[in-house]
Structure 1
Amino acid sequence: MNIGNCTEPGCYPRQIKYNASDRQIQALIQLSDDCFQYIWYYCRNSPFKYNGTVYAWWIDKDEKRNEFPSLENCDNLNDTLKFHSYQIEDKDKLPVTRVHFSNPFKGSGKHKVSRLYCSGKAKTQPMPRSCDDLQRMGHTLNGIYSVRGAKQIETVFCQFDKRYVEQEFQERIGYQDIKTKPTYFYVQKDKNFAERNVPLPFEITIVNIGGAMDLPSGVFTAPVNGTYFFSFAGLAQFPMLTGPDPVPVQRELGANLYKNGERIAISQVNIGYLVYPDNRSPITLQSTVSLGARDKVWIQLSIGISGGFLYDERHSEVDQGSHSHFNGWLLEEEI
């Protein structure tokens, strides 16, 4: 095509027409590994850019202006006929929708725009992350789909009759509570326990789905990354102080939640000096914790002045136990 004799920057426009619809072209680009398009230009005293003024450019699929690289064979105003070939390989810009040229110095210019060439099959994620990935995999029907989000499986509504750059192409609806491995436990004690600075062991398993809780050690090991909830309840006992004139003291017992050796939560019972025997008080603790796979969590006692312990005597006919309970479960998995 001859650009004629107009002299203003970009005054010659040419809309590029294709025999396929925009939707078909974009589907082809997304499904292909490589795509490219050529713009050829024959010039005589017809520059792309001269003395800081841009005279020629091309428009991409999003109606954005793109300049040609400055090349001597067109920009040096040589009176000899020169040829320039420009290849576009950026799939996010293809296809070319319009070209603009100018002939400010009364030379001559002729252009040619090639077909859109695509080859190969585009690679997609093993698990799709967007409607774009789903379309690359061959999905064409509008509907609700599951995709992999940043941390959870998410639900999206895909409108494949829209272009993927349009806002309506993908609408996120929410996330799905997907767990690759069910994890929850409920364990109990049946013995008194008064050791400090060690994980609290348990003797009775009510449920331990996933096997993440180890009773003899009292340690829970997270199987996957995620958010977990833990709850502990026990009965703190403080024996009566003896002697002719016992000194009043503040007596305390704490239940601490530890993560990888660091205390992250505490619940504590404080009791003043009392004369009647076997003072008992409930102690509870709840916490929501973010854990990585293989992180370890346990309960550990802290015992203050004049002692105290967790009371559990399952053998007693009166007190059938158990008074100490520990349970937890995976709230939400991060993928």
Structure 2
Amino acid sequence: MQSDLDIMTENVAKLIVALAVTKSDLAMKANQADLDQTNADVSNLNTALDDTNAILDSKANLEDLASTNNDVSTLSAKLDETNALLETKATQVELANTNSDVSNLRDKLSEISGELGTKASQAELDKTNTAVSTLSGTLEETNLVLESKATQADLDSTKGDVLTLSETLTASNENLAATQLDLEAAKNDISDLKELAKTNSIDRVPESCGDLQGIGHVKSGIYSVMADKQIKNVYCDFTKASDGADFQKLIGTVDMKSTPAYFYAQKTSSYSVANTVVPFESTKTNVGGAFDTATGEFTAPAAGKYFFVFSCLSSDIPTRVNLEVNSAAVAQTYGEIFPQTLTVHATLQLSKDDKVRMFLVEGSMKEDGVKFTNFAGWLIEEDELTRLIRAYSRNISLSPSKNLPIFSGHLFFFRR
């Protein structure tokens, strides 16, 4: 198949050369009869070529047809040029040669037509060529795009990540919306609490449930208030009318001291040195360290109310013992000539650093190991605490950074 095509191609090439020579020779000669004959032959040749083209339009081999189409196109152009020249001139010999070549060409075309009978149609081939060309262009564009794009596996993975992220974002948006609602509710609650927590100054420490209600307390419960120079616990029922009997109920007095102070001292031997301070050899308790066994004196750690008690057994002579504050007698106990139990007790208002002691004026205190001689005392109520509370009561609402007492609604706290 390929050799026949090569032969045909070669003959066509020869024909082209011959036509070129003919064109040159015919430039100066021709007669009408020969020209008519040539025109007839050319017409027949054109008819044959049309037939061949018709056949070739429907049938062709992809490779053979491409080569043949190029040759036929070239031949057709040359024949058109020849026809134009042959309209006025030609020679018999040259025309005979041309006819012979045309005849050979016709035979070859017939052979080609027969061989191409089993080949693909031209329309299908053109369609395929167009599709292949289009596909090639598309593939080239796709390759360029894919050079910078991810693989399908990466794309699938990315799609999965995007889907997961989308679901996460959806859930987050829902949570955010819920949180926003909670935040708004919390803001409203805080606003309400701030409104409730606003302190209205009364320029003093609250003394009743009515005072507490006046500075903004609304929840019923046990509170501490200042009444009769004492801190007392009261139950405030804010659901009741403020002038009702159940609005405030006293729970009890709060024992508050900045420094606890109490002691209990004993003698272990008899003592009879008149006009001297009675010493004590031991202490059972001495919380706060205010009692000195060596000197027999108690030093008040803070101003306030204190209670003291003393007892001893006199011997067989008159015995007199004084309770002194800063060397001045404030109470006395006395016994006759026979043994007696002597006692003295007193509640005293003391200032800070006041000294309290027992002073033997005369006589003798008996001791035989039974421990008849005892001395005890303790702080009942601290005046300094009361003074501080009253002094700073009008500053209760100041910033917590200040070293001032703070009333919590239940208890007083002092920042040091």
Q: Which TM-score applies when normalising by structure 1? A: 0.47
Higher Rg: 2
Q: Which TM-score applies when normalising by structure 2? A: 0.39
Relative contact order (C-alpha < 8 Å, sep 6+): which is higher?
A: 1
Structure with the larger strand share: 1
Structure with the larger helix share: 2
